[in-house]
């Protein structure tokens, strides 16, 4: 990521919404109408920050555990965009009027609650960056990877062939490419069936439908 930024492939800009607060303590949160625990980010600093920095043409994401789960398909779609703005949620979230006015997509990175949306923003920027031309040094790795085919990755080995009494499977060393491809596929299926029965079902459905 550092190299991509240095070479100008990716540009980041971090905007601190506290700089847009009119409160003398730069507060940006308040109690929720209707009661309930926690605080909500107020609309004014977010409206001002977005209007001052977003000149149109940017896809605006909002990170929230209530969003659409991030998937490789969404990542690929985001990878085609020239500019993405990410609003990082905090506390109990942001005032709904910000979402209604500006947000194109509410995104969750998983079924757990983070202490702040910044962690989700880091994940989103990392996964999307991999689809930007020039970011990855090995073009093939994007195609072969997990999730592209609803199957998880096969095990990888590197030198030495024997380490503390543990051996690399002979077949990988022998170098018969057809046998290696068959073995890798078998391992992918076994792993997916054991670890991600949901993905395994998807894979089976695709096999049945001949996709």
Binding residues (CB under 6 A) for ligand ADE: these are 63-65, 89, 108-110, 112-114, 117, 120
Task: Tell me the closest approach of the beta carbon of residue 195 to ligand ADE, in angstroms.
Answer: 20
Q: CB-wise, 48 or 106, nearer to ligand ADE?
A: 106
Q: CB-wise, 62 or 154, nearer to ligand ADE?
A: 62
Q: CB-wise, 90 or 191, nearer to ligand ADE?
A: 90
Task: Tell me the closest approach of the beta carbon of residue 171 to ligand ADE, in angstroms.
Answer: 40
Asked if 119 and 86 count as a contact pair (C-beta separation under 8 A), the reply is no
Task: Tell me the closest approach of the beta carbon of residue 189 to ligand ADE, in angstroms.
Answer: 29
CB-based contacts of 131, cutoff 8 Å, min separation 6 = 75, 76, 78, 79, 80, 142
Q: CB-wise, 113 or 166, nearer to ligand ADE?
A: 113
CB-based contacts of 25, cutoff 8 Å, min separation 6 = none
């Amino acid at each position: 990521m550092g190299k991509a930024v240095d070479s100008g492939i990716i540009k980041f800009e971090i905007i601190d919404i506290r700089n847009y607060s009119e409160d003398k303590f730069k507060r940006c949160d308040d109690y929720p109408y209707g009661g309930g625990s926690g605080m909500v980010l107020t609309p004014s600093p977010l409206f001002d920050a977005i209007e001052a920095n977003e000149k149109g043409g940017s896809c605006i994401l909002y990170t929230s555990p209530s969003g659409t789960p991030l998937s490789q398909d969404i990542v690929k779609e985001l990878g085609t965009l020239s500019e993405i703005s990410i609003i990082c949620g905090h506390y109990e979230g942001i005032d709904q009027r910000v979402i209604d006015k500006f947000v194109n997509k509410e995104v969750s990175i998983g079924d757990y609650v983070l202490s702040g949306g910044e962690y989700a923003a880091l994940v989103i920027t990392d996964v999307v960056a991999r689809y930007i031309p020039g970011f990855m040094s090995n073009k093939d790795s994007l195609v072969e990877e997990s999730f592209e085919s609803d199957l998880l990755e096969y095990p990888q080995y590197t030198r030495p062939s024997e380490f503390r009494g543990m051996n690399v499977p002979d077949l990988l060393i022998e170098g018969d490419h057809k046998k290696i491809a068959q073995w890798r596929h078998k391992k992918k299926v076994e792993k997916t069936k054991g670890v991600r029965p949901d993905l395994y079902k998807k894979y089976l459905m695709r096999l049945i439908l001949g996709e």
